[in-house]
Amino acid sequence: MSQEVVYKHYLRALSQWPKDALRPECRFEDVMRRRIESKFNPSETPSEGRQVERVPVNQEAELKQVNALYSLINNRYTTQYRLGDLIMKPQSNPTHYADLVKELEEAPNRSWFGNMINQWKGSLRLR
């Protein structure tokens, strides 16, 4: 298998990576794409203008890395190692994780005023 095939597998896996709505300015796929580009497509050195020597890539190791990306994309570990209700619904606060997921889904679309109200709610806890 050639380096080009491994490179294409990386790009395909990164194109399927879920978007992070909370932190759009530092995306995982951008960081990985820079790493992959530097490894598989070395650029010219600006000072000398000559091609940088291509370092041989361990294709077997890189394919394992691509497989790890695909396993995360497909939630292979979530389906293989299910968490029980005792972990996901603790007795002290059974709705904690459901509330956390709800908050993470609402946060990117909340207005400045909504953020301020949530901040005030967090500082004024009345029970």
pLDDT tens digits for 52-86? 566 677 888 999 999 999 999 999 998 888 888 78
Identify the burial level of 39 via C-beta atoms within 10 angstroms of its C-beta, where 0-12 means exposed, 13-18 middle and 19 or more buried: middle
With H, G, I as helix, E, B as strand and everything else as coil, classify residue 86: helix
Which pLDDT tens digits describe the chain residue by residue (127 residues)? 678 888 999 999 999 998 887 788 888 999 999 989 888 876 644 555 555 566 677 888 999 999 999 999 999 998 888 888 788 888 898 999 898 888 888 887 888 887 788 777 767 766 5
- Taking the CB of residue 117, how many other CB atoms lie within 10 A of it? 12
What's the mean pLDDT when you consider all of the chain? 82
What residues does each domain of the chain span? 3-80, 85-123
Residue among 57, 56, 74, 59 nearest 12 (CA): 74
